[in-house]
């Protein structure tokens, strides 16, 4: 039965951009971060850092940097997932590792009844540079993704995204 619940959290995950005004508790944010930190990473290097914000002024500044982030203004919180070039297994590995951590944030949020949306930062260099400045990131820390978090204003149906034509056995 547990596997059915886990699969339902994965299959029902949707990008949520409309939030209520309810604030997410600090303990719930910590649960989401714990899930992020349990993501797989190359050689278990865990080359990630997370900046948690509920600062509406920072959210406003993000909307000036990122043209598709206006919904962030209604979010309770946001988590900036960053890659640490000094901790990664080898050059470029933080990208896959931070992708896994970001996905865990999205799945944990869904399991906890929190809506979320992945706001892309990497690979847009102009966004990355502006995020580095906004969040005062050290040189070796790279912004990867920003995830908005909030209680969903309404439930969203989830489409069936299973695509048989994308499956190949043994070869193309």
Question: Is 158 part of any domain?
Answer: no
Question: Is 88 part of any domain?
Answer: yes
- pLDDT tens readout for residues 23-77: 999 999 999 999 999 999 999 999 999 999 999 999 999 999 999 999 999 999 9
- pLDDT tens readout for residues 130-161: 999 999 999 999 999 999 999 999 888 888 88
Query: Domain tally for the chain?
Result: 1
- The side-by-side arrangement of strands in the sheet containing 141-150 is 48-53, 77-84, 141-150, 115-120
- d(CA 9, CA 56) in angstroms, rounded, equals 29
Query: What CATH number is given to the structural domain containing 125?
Result: 3.40.109.10
Question: Is 15 part of any domain?
Answer: no
- d(CA 49, CA 139) in angstroms, rounded, equals 13
Identify the bridge partners of residue 139 per DSSP, sorted by sequence position. none
Question: Is 65 part of any domain?
Answer: yes
Question: Is 119 part of any domain?
Answer: yes
Residue 47 structural domain:
27-152
């Amino acid at each position: 039965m547990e596997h059915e619940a886990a699969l339902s959290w994965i299959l029902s995950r949707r990008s949520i951009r409309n939030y209520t005004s309810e604030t997410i508790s600090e303990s719930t944010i910590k649960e989401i971060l714990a899930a992020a930190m349990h993501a797989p990473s190359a050689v278990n290097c865990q080359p990630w850092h997370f900046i948690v914000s509920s600062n509406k002024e920072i959210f406003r500044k993000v909307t000036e940097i990122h043209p598709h982030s206006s919904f962030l203004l209604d979010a309770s919180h946001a988590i900036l997932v960053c890659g640490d070039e000094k901790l990664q297994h080898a050059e470029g590995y933080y990208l896959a590792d931070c992708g896994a951590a970001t996905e865990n944030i999205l799945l944990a949020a869904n399991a906890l009844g929190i809506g979320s949306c992945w706001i892309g930062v990497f690979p847009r260099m102009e966004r990355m540079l502006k995020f580095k400045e906004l969040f005062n990131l050290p040189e070796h820390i790279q912004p990867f993704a920003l995830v908005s978090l909030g209680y969903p204003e309404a439930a969203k149906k989830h489409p069936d995204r299973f695509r048989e034509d994308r499956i190949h056995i043994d070869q193309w």
